Amino acid sequence: MDIVIYIGGAVLFFALVMASIALHEIGHLVPGKIFDVKTTQYFVGFGRTLWSRRRGETEYGIKAIPLGGYVRFVGMYPPGKNAPVNAVRASRTGIFQSMADQARAAEWEGIRPEDEGRLFYQKKSWQKLIIMAGGPLMNIILAFLLLLAVTSVYGVYRTQTTVRSVQDCILAEGATDRSCTGKPTTPARSAGLQPGDRIVAFNDAPIRSWEEMSAAIRSNLDRRARITVERGGQRVELTPVNTVVTGVPHMWDPSRRVAAGFLGVEPMLQRERGGPIVVLNDMGKMAQQTGYALVRFPAKVYHTAADLVTGKPRDVYGPMSIVGASRAAGEVASTDKIGAADKVATLFSLLGSVNLFVALFNFVPLLPLDGGHIAGAIYEGLKRQLARLFRKPDPGHVDTAKMLPVAYVVGGAIALSGVVLILADIIDPIRLF
């Protein structure tokens, strides 16, 4: 029965992710239709077509490889300066220019004179910006709604300033011997902290959240620490101690260890409900963490591949593919370590996190990602505004075809990363339980 639940949870989650991708493309399609861009295709997936229907000029369908989707707007690349509507400028020498011209020629094969005014490149810069940002913004809206549903209905477990447990001694990183014989006592134990204490001040600075407390401990390094707690309804000043410098997980990348202050206390967790402001605050923190992860993404994928080849244990905080995320969802669905309500909340929170990641990933300002087209639209708009301001001739449309070599490199890197992560998720998956 567990395996059936596992498979069902994984398949359901995968389907919900694909539905999110379909809605991402709707985010492009709808403003494209509103601004009357000629749109010939809307597909979920890649490769061979499994099903399609034509409605007006647009073919809607599903393809065999469910790892993405696309909307085909006609006229993404301009014909070149001073060229007529359905003409392409003569190819120039140079491999990069030839690549751009070949792509431009393929784009213009299906363009007809009656398409004049409906081509994507002919639209105003702000319209292009809305069309290309529509997809990632759809994912942000989905992430917000999913996380709001979890936070407002069920609640989110959050660390409190109340002490759950106090560590007795300082253990070396990776130590298998958990006994405290011959090991130094933690500063928390030396200070006299007890389970149930609520920390209210650190070095005379008021503490309102565990995030503040954690930051204060880390930055204190090995200096003196004066801790005030509320115990039995009364404020108690504990024995001053020195925190110690040790290796602790990086705040945004737990797989990295950094030198920081250490106290030796574990906070309580409490489920709390919240509204839109709380969710937006949570999404802001998640966006910071995701941005940091995106910067380190190429290195993380490389290390995942190296660990896979060498047989080293996989980094549990490393990236995973949609296959890995679906397997994790299957684990959550089938485990007996959490209740049914926690399972549903966890799965929807995971889906919200995936949508936020997809949005931020697509905002990266490189082709073929949406962010590359967004950057092109912003650049075009700025050029035209400056030309208008200084009474110069209209500089014309930005030729995004010139960035196709970059698009091929980035697209290849994304495809390769996808293959590496899918293989890792099949051969050596990250396990939650």
Question: Taking a C-beta distance cutoff of 8 angstroms, is the pair 266, 164 a contact?
Answer: yes
Six-digit token string for 190: 């030396």
Q: State the DSSP code for 121.
A: G
Q: Are strands 241-242 and 265-272 parallel, antiparallel or unpaired?
A: unpaired
Q: State the DSSP code for 58.
A: E
Cα angle: 194, vertex 198, 199; to 5 degrees: 95
Six-digit token string for 173: 């990183």
307 backbone dihedrals φ, ψ, rounded to 5°: -65, -35
Give the closest residue to 219 by CA, choosing from 203, 206, 195. Answer: 203
Question: Taking a C-beta distance cutoff of 8 angstroms, is the pair 69, 25 a contact?
Answer: yes
Residue that is written with structure tokens 């989650």 in the block: 13
Question: Taking a C-beta distance cutoff of 8 angstroms, is the pair 42, 58 a contact?
Answer: yes
Six-digit token string for 300: 């993380």
Burial of 369 (0-12, 13-18, 19+ CB in 10 A): buried
Out of 25, 107, 331, 380, pick the active-site residue.
25
| SS3 label, residue 242 | strand
Six-digit token string for 31: 């403003």
Residue type, 223: R
25 classed as catalytic = yes
| SS3 label, residue 292 | helix
Q: Give the integer Cα–Cα distance in Å for 391 and 373.
A: 27
SS3 letters for 43-102? EEEEEEEEEEEEECCEEEEEEEEEEEEEEEECCCCCCCCCCCCCCCCCCCCCHHHHHHHH
Residue type, 208: R
Q: Give the integer Cα–Cα distance in Å for 267 and 285.
A: 20
Count Cα atoms within 13 angstroms, Cβ side, for 74: 23
Q: Which DSSP helix (H) or strand (E) runs through 29?
A: helix 2-34
Give the closest residue to 99 by CA, choosing from 413, 415, 414, 408. Answer: 408
Q: State the DSSP code for 169.
A: B
CB atoms within 10 A of CB 83: 14
Give the closest residue to 191 by CA, choosing from 246, 236, 247. Answer: 236
Residue type, 217: I
Would you name the residues annotated as active-site residues? 25
